[in-house]
């Protein structure tokens, strides 16, 4: 049996300045497209996260190897 997460949990992180936080919960969600998943992420909030701008980072390990960053506190 194949592992359903395909080791994607290490592709996501929450970044605040120089600090990186791994997800506390990672769940692939079948979206109805064959071979394609969306992901539900949850992070444990800590004091460092509340002090500045947060970024959600996805680093593709399987196709391009590129990181993609989403600024969560952009105005």
Of 66, 42, 45, 70, the closest CA to residue 55 belongs to 70
CA dist 64 → 12, 49, 60, 61, 67 (Å)? 15, 29, 6, 7, 9
Helix or strand (DSSP H, E) at 41: strand 37-42
pLDDT band at 69 (very low <50, low <70, confident <90, very high): very high
54, 16 in Cβ contact below 8 A? yes
- 24-35 pLDDT, tens digit per residue, is 888 888 888 887
- 42-67 pLDDT, tens digit per residue, is 888 877 676 678 899 998 877 788 99
Q: Inform me whether the pLDDT recorded for 7 exceeds 60.
A: no
User: How far is the C-alpha of 75 from the C-alpha of 65, rounded, in Å?
Assistant: 29
Would you say the pTM of this structure is higher than 0.75? no
């Amino acid at each position: 049996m194949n592992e359903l997460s395909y080791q994607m949990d290490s592709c996501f992180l929450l970044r605040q300045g120089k600090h990186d936080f791994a997800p506390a919960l990672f769940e692939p969600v079948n979206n109805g497209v064959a071979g394609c998943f969306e992901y539900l992420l949850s992070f444990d909030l800590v004091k460092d996260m509340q002090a500045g701008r947060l970024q959600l980072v996805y680093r593709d390990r399987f196709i391009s190897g590129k990181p993609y960053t989403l600024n969560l506190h952009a105005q």
